[in-house]
A and B are shown apart, each in its own frame.
Chain A
């Protein structure tokens, strides 16, 4: 079975902190994604990566950056956390032309 693991289920951070969300997949997938999910807004793509060291902006990249130094790991970085970044963050991975598999999600609260 494909496993996508996110480093934390719940996280509470202070405004202005630099926040790292980590995601690891064990199926050698070339594509990895970061989404945020908010009530009434659905899943919105922040960034995706189709290869090591490659990244593309999604629909809402402002205030975020990503890093993919190894194929299995995709990190999301909040450069200076703000309260409007309080959300559920979801990481996913996939092969090209195939379904995506999601991690369990990280519920981030910025206070």
Chain B
């Protein structure tokens, strides 16, 4: 069964304190790994797509990386506005569905 886990469940950082979020997955064949940001009461907002091991994507203070078993979302010098829940999802090679992880709730304190 396809599975996506994320760690930590929650993370509190001081403004400027860099860290990483982890997404581990088991799928029969990866069609893509996706990162989303979700603010309270809103729908998830797309951030990155990664398709193959070794691939990296960057956007402002965020950088996503992918290996054969996991992905990391690195947050460099975060600001309070980066506070949100970060979700990762995978799409398996022979399926149409997305399998979502439970998310990491990030709080960045000023």
B71 at the interface (CB under 8 A from A): no
Known: A42-B103, A100-B34. A105 touches B43 (CB 8 A): yes
A96 and chain B: residue at smallest CB distance: B96
Chain B residues within 8 Å of A43, by CB:
44, 87, 100
Most chain B beta-carbon contacts within 10 A, residue among A4, A42, A105: A42
A6 and chain B: residue at smallest CB distance: B43
For residue B95, give the distance in angstroms from its CB to the closest CB of chain A.
10
Chain B residues within 8 Å of A94, by CB:
98
A74 at the interface (CB under 8 A from B): no
**Contact-residue bracket for chain B:** 20 to 34
Known: A42-B102, A42-B103, A98-B32. A58 touches B43 (CB 8 A): no
| Cα–Cα distance between A99 and B34 once the two chains are bound (Å) | 7
Would you call the interface of chain B mostly helix, strand, loop, or mixed?
A: strand
- Does B43 contact A99, Cβ atoms closer than 8 Å? no
- Does B43 contact A103, Cβ atoms closer than 8 Å? yes
Within 8 A of B (CB), among A20-57: 31, 33, 42-43, 45, 48, 50, 56
- Does B91 contact A90, Cβ atoms closer than 8 Å? no
Number of interface residues of A (CB under 8 A): 25
Chain A residues within 8 Å of B17, by CB:
none
| Cα–Cα distance between A107 and B42 once the two chains are bound (Å) | 10
Q: Which residues from chain A sit less than 8 Å from chain B, CB to CB?
A: 4, 31, 33, 42-43, 45, 48, 50, 56, 58, 88, 90, 92, 94, 96-105, 107
B6 and chain A: residue at smallest CB distance: A42
Contact mask for chain B residues 30-72; partner A; CB cutoff 8 A; 1 contact, 0 none: 0110101000011111100100000000000000000000000
| Cα–Cα distance between A63 and B91 once the two chains are bound (Å) | 26
Chain A residues within 8 Å of B96, by CB:
31, 48, 50, 56, 96
Sort A-B residue pairs by CB-CB distance and give the 9 closest, nearest first: A102-B43, A43-B100, A42-B102, A105-B43, A99-B49, A102-B44, A99-B34, A104-B43, A99-B46
Other-chain residue from A97, A104, A107 in contact with B32 (beta carbon distance below 8 A): A97
